[in-house]
């Protein structure tokens, strides 16, 4: 009955239009009242403890780093360097987009921020080159879900805090899946380019390639610097966020000289707004998480999933299906915060590595960014590509299906995730 009260109060709150953070609070209060244990002090204590986390401090710094990168010209130089390397092949701007997204993802960790920043640059560039607007926008949308998978990743930080799992290990384990998904997008784009007979750009000279790489040098070394620092243990994910933000500030201001002092306040305000949403969600989710534990909901869900616990692959497939359904109507952060404490006991009972589960779970969750009606990335891409949602959904489906196929392979053959992870973690 406790599970029913939680679900009815949460879903009912969302249906009447309450923001998800308030819906989480309302469901927590509903469970308190049902269990005859309403206590405003406990409510406020859990609210504070939800946001009071050293690891969660990384979120605002990575968000701020993204703002500095966009204003400081770092994003533009990543695109230029990618274009110099692969822009000359048929449909080359598509491969440029995938490479640029992968590089940008390794510095920002937010799919929405990445879609807004790169979509505004790449989609008009592709359209001007004679590419189909819908297919170009679909590729940009599908590619930008790499941002929450390639380290640093905001959803991985959220999951790590919720599950008590090493965030550094999650970061390192996310590298191989991000590469697999990039390859899948390249394969689908190859057929799109071949079928559409997309134009080719002239091959750039070695001098032009070298110039683009040198111009983007300070932008391109940051991902490598962050990954080496995390793998060697020289700094924590939170410290990496600080380093990333300060580095972007210095390079944008003093090296590229595109980030002006008057832009600082705009970047700070924008980052504060984005971060406050995530932090308030974390605070509200802590209330629901604590009450779910008190109400024994994780044990109830483990009991429901008990028939699959002896078969880890079937359990993972079942969870992936559930998460995909939830993702159609709920954003990434609340999905992670609500489902992590509920599903983790079943995962541990099945003997599944929580780090491996966390990465697969996050990948499954971020697919919700590409599915209506919520589909945050879809909405941002629609604005960047100047197309409506119906055209957007049709354009993104081939890429999304390829990404789901990679997800299924990672569930059926866990070694393709765990073996590279063991090397990256060291």
In a domain, 91, yes or no: yes
At 50 the pLDDT is 67
- Per-residue model confidence as pLDDT tens digits over 3-46: 677 777 777 877 777 777 777 777 777 777 777 766 777 777 77
Q: Can you give the residue range of the structural domain that contains 296?
A: 39-425
245-255 pLDDT per residue, tens: 899 999 999 99
Distance CA 108, CA 421 (A): 21
- Is 94 among the domain residues? yes
**Within-domain flag for 404:** yes
Number of domains in the chain: 1
Q: What angle do CA 217, 218, 223 make, to 5 degrees?
A: 95
Sequence-distant (6+) residues with CB within 8 A of 314 are: 308
- C-alpha to C-alpha distances, 251 to 90, 96, 265, nearest whole angstrom: 33, 23, 17
Lookup: tokens for 92? 């080359």
The answer for residues whose C-beta is within 8 angstroms of residue 283's C-beta and 6 or more apart is 21, 46, 47, 48, 50, 51
Model confidence at 184: pLDDT above 80:
yes
Task: For 233-273, write each residue's pLDDT tens digit.
Answer: 788 888 888 888 899 999 999 999 999 999 999 999 988 88
The structure tokens listed for 301 are 């869900």
pLDDT of amino acid 189: 93
Asked whether the predicted pLDDT for residue 426 surpasses 70, the reply is: no
- Asked if 159 and 278 count as a contact pair (C-beta separation under 8 A), the reply is no
Residue 29 lies in a domain: no
Residue 71 C-beta-side C-alpha neighbours within 13 Å = 24
Q: What is the pLDDT of residue 2?
A: 66
pLDDT of residue 139: 93
| pLDDT one-digit tens code per residue, 88-134 | 788 888 888 898 888 887 777 778 778 877 887 888 888 888 888 99
Question: In Å, how far from its chain's centre is CA 86?
Answer: 25
232 burial class (0-12, 13-18, 19+ CB within 10 angstroms)?
Answer: exposed
Q: Which residue has the tokens 């799109």?
A: 192
Q: Tell whether 50 is covered by a domain.
A: yes
Q: Is residue 81 part of a domain?
A: yes
Q: What is the mean pLDDT of residues 409-418?
A: 95
The pTM of this model reads 0.81
Considering the domain boundaries, does residue 103 fall inside one? yes
Find the radius of gyration of the CA atoms of the chain. Answer: 22
Let me know if residue 52 belongs to a domain: yes
Q: What is the pLDDT of residues 289-339, one digit of tens each?
A: 677 666 666 677 777 788 888 899 999 999 999 888 887 767 788 888 888
Give 419: exposed, middle or buried? Use CB within 10 Å, 0-12, 13-18, 19+. exposed
């Amino acid at each position: 009955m406790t599970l029913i009260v939680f679900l009815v109060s949460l879903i009912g709150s969302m249906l009447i239009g309450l923001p998800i953070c308030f819906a989480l609070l309302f469901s927590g209060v509903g469970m308190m009242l049902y269990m005859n244990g309403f206590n405003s002090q406990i409510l406020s204590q859990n609210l504070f403890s939800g946001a009071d986390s050293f690891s969660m401090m990384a979120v605002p710094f990575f968000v701020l780093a993204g703002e500095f990168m966009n204003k400081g010209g770092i994003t533009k130089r990543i695109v230029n360097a990618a274009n110099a390397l692969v822009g000359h092949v048929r449909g080359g701007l598509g491969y440029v987009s995938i490479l640029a997204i992968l590089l940008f993802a390794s510095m920002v960790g937010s799919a929405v921020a990445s879609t807004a920043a790169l979509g505004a640059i790449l989609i008009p560039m592709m359209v001007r080159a004679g590419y189909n607007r819908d297919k170009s926008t679909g590729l940009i949308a599908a590619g930008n879900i790499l941002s929450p998978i390639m380290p640093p990743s905001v959803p991985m930080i959220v999951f790590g805090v919720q599950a008590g799992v090493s965030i550094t290990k999650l970061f390192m384990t996310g590298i191989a899946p991000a590469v697999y998904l990039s390859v899948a997008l390249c394969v689908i784009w190859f057929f799109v380019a071949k079928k559409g007979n997309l134009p080719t750009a002239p091959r750039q000279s070695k001098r032009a390639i070298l110039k683009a790489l040198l111009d983007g040098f300070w932008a391109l070394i940051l991902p490598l610097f962050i990954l080496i620092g995390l793998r060697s243990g020289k700094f924590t994910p939170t410290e990496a966020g600080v380093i990333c933000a300060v580095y972007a500030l210095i390079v944008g201001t003093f090296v590229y000289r595109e980030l002006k002092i008057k832009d600082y306040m705009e970047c700070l305000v924008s980052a504060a707004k984005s971060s406050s949403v995530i932090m308030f969600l974390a605070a509200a989710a802590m209330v629901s998480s604590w009450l779910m534990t008190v109400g024994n909901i994780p044990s109830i869900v483990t009991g429901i999933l008990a028939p699959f616990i002896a078969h880890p692959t079937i359990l993972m497939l079942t969870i992936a299906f559930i998460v995909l359904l939830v993702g159609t109507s709920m954003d990434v952060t609340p999905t992670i915060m609500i489902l992590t404490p509920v599903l983790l006991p079943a995962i541990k009972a099945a003997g599944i590595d929580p780090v491996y589960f966390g990465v697969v779970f996050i990948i499954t969750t971020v697919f919700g960014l590409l599915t209506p009606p919520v589909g945050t990335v879809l909405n941002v891409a629609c604005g960047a590509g100047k197309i409506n949602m119906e055209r957007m959904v049709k354009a993104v489906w081939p890429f999304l299906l390829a990404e789901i196929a990679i997800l299924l392979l990672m569930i059926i053959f866990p070694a393709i995730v765990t073996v590279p992870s063991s090397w990256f973690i060291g």
